[in-house]
Amino acid sequence: MTVYQIKNEAYTYDVIDLDIVELSETISKNNDLDTDTVLRMFMSSSLNNIEFSPLWPQGLNFDYFGKAKKQDYDISRLGHFLIMKMPVYELLKERLANFGEFLPVKAEGNNMILFNLLTFGQEQKDMCLTKYEDGFEDGLELLTFEQDDIQNKLLFKSKLEGAQKVYCTDGFKNIIQSNNLKGLVFDEDLLDPFV
């Protein structure tokens, strides 16, 4: 089974202009949390698997970022989130429901879904290699997952990597490609930051 790092296509724009400071202020107005607490939640959300659905306000409307509206992608990465059009959500919601939460947003009035991935893949630690720079740990040089753990996971993150990248198996890649959905590329190099 092949594992892929999910990336956006090269030279593309984030779909929405997601400013987590402004979003934290909006969320704190509708809850009993101060803005700094919500902001800290966002900053650590991927590694700590923080769920936002209990705090999520209705009708969040964002501007498209740059030329994203013209790109017209079906599904894209947005940091450690995935953002998808409603037809893609309808296609994926049952398949992804066990791996994260769906947060409704709008892009200039167009309904979309932000998917917050809440699933980790178990790393095969004896096959992972830490990189060192001047005697200090500097990320990973090699990342491998336990096949038994990820075989039924369409999407997952890595704690060793810092939970900043989104990974998938052939199952997810095949769904995206067989439905001709635009916006994502699948890289077998699990650590390469570039497209």
Is there a contact between 37 and 45 (Cβ–Cβ < 8 Å)? Answer: no
pTM comes to 0.93
**Residue numbers of the domain that contains 145:** 1-195
Nearest to 38 by CA among 22, 49, 14, 17: 22
Residue 129 gets the label, from left (phi > 0), alpha (psi -120 to 50) or beta, of beta
Residues in the chain: 195
Number of domains the chain contains: 1
Give 3's pLDDT tier (boundaries 50, 70, 90). Answer: very high
Beta bridge partner(s), residue 16 = 64
pLDDT digits (tens, 9 = 90+) for 90-128: 999 999 999 999 999 999 999 999 999 999 999 999 998
